[in-house]
Amino acid sequence: MKIVIVGSGYVGLVTGACFSEVGINVTCVDIDKKKIDNLNNGIIPIYEPGLENMITRNMDKGRLSFTTNIKEALKDAEVLFISVGTPPDEDGSADLKYVVAVARDCGKHMNDYMLIVTKSTVPVGTSKKVKQAVQEELDKRNANIEFDVASNPEFLKEGAAINDFLKPDRIVVGLDSQRAEDLMKSLYKPFTLNGHPVIFMDIVSAEMTKYAANAMLATKISFINDIANLCEIVGADINKVRKGIGSDSRIGTKFIYPGIGYGGSCFPKDVQALIRTASENNYDLKVLQAVEAVNKLQKLVLFNKINNYFDGDLKGKTIGVWGLSFKPQTDDMREAPSLSIINNLLEAGAVVKAYDPVAIPEAKHHFGDTISYFEDQYEALIDADCLAILTEWPEFKIPSFKIMTKLLNKPTIFDGRNIYDREEMKKEGFEYYCIGVNT
């Protein structure tokens, strides 16, 4: 089978690599010529563990190729996946212009039956718009070609994307034709052999499932952050409370880690878009509005702790920062909490010395030379008045506390990810401030 994937970003590249890995012939398309040239030269535009090896291996086998030419790519293909971005519009709704542009391109160039699958995260009703755009283009050409549309939202997490795609908790497919169902069943067969289920449903329910999943996960995070803030006030320890509630299997241990607010390219925009969909339908999603409001405040919590520590005068203070990406194992900085925290520090007159294992090139796009960057985590601490931990990279978990004490002007840590034990930090001689524990 030959398939085409349009949009070669985080989702498109992982989807393309994983389908080619199981022997499917995949062409990935993008309008970004530089990105495609780089990919054809083995240069992968994102940091995602395991992706580079998988892409080069399948390119060498001749099963995976990259092009800007959608017309060529569509020849002999039966399935087209749309995996372009759906960024937030000014009013918070998902901007569908890239999705619709791909649908139009498809209608312009397809010559035979095609199943057009939306993998991008799109609001309820988008598949109808895709269908309409394809049909309009076919009509312009007087072409009488059959096609189906389907919704196949993606649930991968950055940093664990390959594993999530190869061993999914579930695959959700919304469709309305038997031909589409047969095609999707055979495409996903290699991934379902070990018991990973495909859940078939109608298109609207599949579109809603994606937003409901992200909204539920974001809700867990804002809930635990809200409780963490209360723990600080009443003298409870969120780390203990988290374990205490997580061992109830109805609640579960995952996604209840307190921190500095959820970031990334998905939760913030998808929560906003779902609130927007609701209001367009005259419904008030009150819980999600609160989730969003809590998250906005949570992004300020660590800055406020640092600011209070220095009695509201950060002018000339030097802050060492470990971690810039929105989570570990990725260089993605979209909506990263580090953006708001560092911008607040800079506005207050502080000097920022930053280290991240992979996100420094990305961070330079955001901060330019307003902060300094270091190749070594300890160098970022030289002459710093404190350390702020903004991403829980594994290499920060067992550092040399001795070196840190020597380098910092005063051994003080503001940990936005609760990666250390408070008692141990006391023994090591640190003043240690984290989230949800009164110090």
Q: What residues line the site for ligand UGA (CB under 6 A)?
A: 121, 154-158, 214, 217, 221, 255-257, 259, 262-264, 266-267, 326-327
The answer to whether residue 386 is catalytic is no
Nearer to ligand UGA, 88 or 104 (CB): 88
Binding span for ligand NAD by CB under 6 A among 80-88, 108-116, 382-390, 429-437: 80-88
Which of 102, 187, 390, 407 is the binder for ligand NAD (CB under 6 A)? 102
Q: How far apart are CA 47 and CA 40, in angstroms?
A: 17
**DSSP category for residue 396:** G
Tell me which of 17, 74, 79, 85 binds ligand NAD, using CB under 6 A.
Answer: 85
CA nearest 372: which of 396, 342, 394, 400? 342
Residue sitting closest to ligand UGA (CB): 266
Closest distance of CB 359 from ligand UGA, Å: 13
Question: Cα-atom radius of gyration of the chain, to the nearest Å?
Answer: 24
Contact partner, 259, from ligand UGA, ligand NAD, none, Cβ < 5-8 Å per class: ligand UGA
Cβ proximity to ligand UGA, 155 vs 401, nearer residue: 155
Listing DSSP states for 345-384 in one string gives: HHHTT-EEEEE-SS-HHHHHHHHGGGSEEESSTTGGGTT-
At 335, give phi and psi (nearest 5°): 55, 25
Q: Is 258 annotated as a binding residue?
A: yes
Q: Is 120 in the site for ligand NAD (CB under 6 A)?
A: yes
Does 221 bind ligand NAD (CB under 6 A)? Our answer is no
- Binding residues among 151-170 for ligand NAD as defined by CB under 6 A: 154, 156, 158
- Answer yes or no whether residue 27 interacts with ligand NAD by CB under 6 A: no
Structural contact between residues 323 and 389, judged by C-beta atoms closer than 8 angstroms = yes
Residues 25, 4: Cα–Cα separation, whole Å? 9
Is 86 annotated in some ligand binding site? yes
Q: Which residues of 50-68 are buried (b: 16+ CB within 10 A; e: fewer)?
A: ebbebbeebbeeebbbbbe
> Contact between 412 and ligand NAD (CB under 6 A)?
no
Q: Quick one: 22 or 217, whose CB is closer to ligand UGA?
A: 217
User: Which residue's beta carbon is nearest to the bound ligand NAD?
Assistant: 9
Tell whether residue 31 is a contact of ligand NAD (CB under 6 A): yes
- DSSP structure class, residue 45: S
Nearest distance from C-beta of residue 332 to ligand NAD, angstroms: 7
- Give 266 or 407: the residue with its C-beta nearer to ligand UGA: 266
- Is 269 part of any known ligand binding site? yes
Q: Cβ closer to ligand NAD: 209 or 265? A: 265
295, containing H or E segment: helix 286-309
How far, CA to CA in Å, does 319 sit from each of 26, 307, 383, 399, 431? Answer: 47, 11, 9, 18, 15
Q: Which is nearer to ligand NAD, 6 or 24 (CB)?
A: 6
Q: Which of 231, 266, 386, 434 is an active site residue? A: 266
395: DSSP letter: G
Q: Closest approach of Cβ 242 to ligand UGA, in Å? A: 9
The DSSP result for 74-133, as a single string, is HTT--EEEE-----B-TTSSB--HHHHHHHHHHHHH--S-EEEEE-S---TTHHHHHHHH
Run of H or E residues at 386: strand 386-389
Which of ligand UGA, ligand NAD, none binds 363 (CB below 5-8 Å, type-dependent)?
Answer: none
- Residue from 151, 225, 239, 265 binding ligand NAD (CB under 6 A): 265
| Minimum CB distance to ligand UGA, residue 298 (Å) | 8
Question: Which residue's CB is nearer to ligand UGA, number 106 or number 156?
Answer: 156
Contact 331, 362 (CB under 8 A): yes
Phi, psi of 324 (to 5 degrees): -125, -30
In the complex, least distance from residue 7 CB atom to ligand NAD, rounded to whole angstroms: 3
- The stretch near ligand NAD (CB under 6 A) out of 150-158, 284-292, 310-318, 381-389 is 150-158
Tell me the C-alpha distance between 157 and 170, whole Å. Answer: 14
Residue pair 118/150 in contact (Cβ under 8 Å)? The answer is: yes
Indicate if the alpha-carbon torsion angle 137, 131, 214, 286 is positive or negative: positive
Q: Is 426 annotated as a binding residue?
A: no
Work out what residue 7 binds among ligand UGA, ligand NAD, none; the CB cut-off runs from 5 to 8 Å by kind. ligand NAD
Q: Is 188 annotated as a binding residue?
A: no
The string over 209-226, giving b where at least 16 C-beta atoms fall within 10 Å of a residue's C-beta and e elsewhere, is bbbebbbebbbbbbbbbb
Exposed, middle or buried by CB within 10 Å (0-12, 13-18, 19+), for 312?
Answer: exposed
The binding site for substrate comprises 155-158, 210, 255-259, 263, 327
The footprint of ligand NAD (CB under 6 A) covers 6-12, 29-32, 35, 83-86, 98, 101-102, 120-121, 154, 156, 158, 265-266
Which residues line the annotated binding site for NAD(+)?
30, 35, 86, 121, 158, 269, 334
Positions annotated as catalytic residues are: 266
